[in-house]
Amino acid sequence: MNAPDTAVHLDAMRAEGSALGHALRDHDMTEIRFRARCLHAIADQLALAPVLMAATMLVECLGPDGTAPAHDYGDALFALSDAIESATRSLR
């Protein structure tokens, strides 16, 4: 992937992270799950293994729509946030 493509995907990842934050403030679990899956897809496309692993953990902790998330989904959310921050710093 060339630099402009990577920059576009990193911008998309930041936008999804922001949207996930808004969904968290609104307590909208459906939107949280959707945004987590979007972040997973972007990390997969960028081949960012740490972000992909953290996004996978969050998606698994959130579970399917209509179910209660695992009690530790907050930890998974923080791990994803940290992984995104590290990835964006290293790719600048």
Nearest alpha carbon to residue 20 among 45, 43, 1: 43
pTM: 0.89
Distances (CA, A) of 87 to 7, 28, 49, 69: 12, 26, 10, 26
**CATH code matching the domain that covers 3-90, chosen among 1.20.120, 2.40.128, 1.10.8, 1.20.144:** 1.20.120
State the first-to-last Cα distance of the chain, in angstroms, to the nearest integer: 15
The structural domains of the chain, with segments of one domain joined by +, span: 3-90
pLDDT in tens, 8-65: 888 889 899 999 999 999 999 999 999 999 999 999 998 999 999 999 999 999 999 9
What average pLDDT does the segment 78-84 reach?
Answer: 94
Contact between 69 and 63 (Cβ < 8 Å): yes
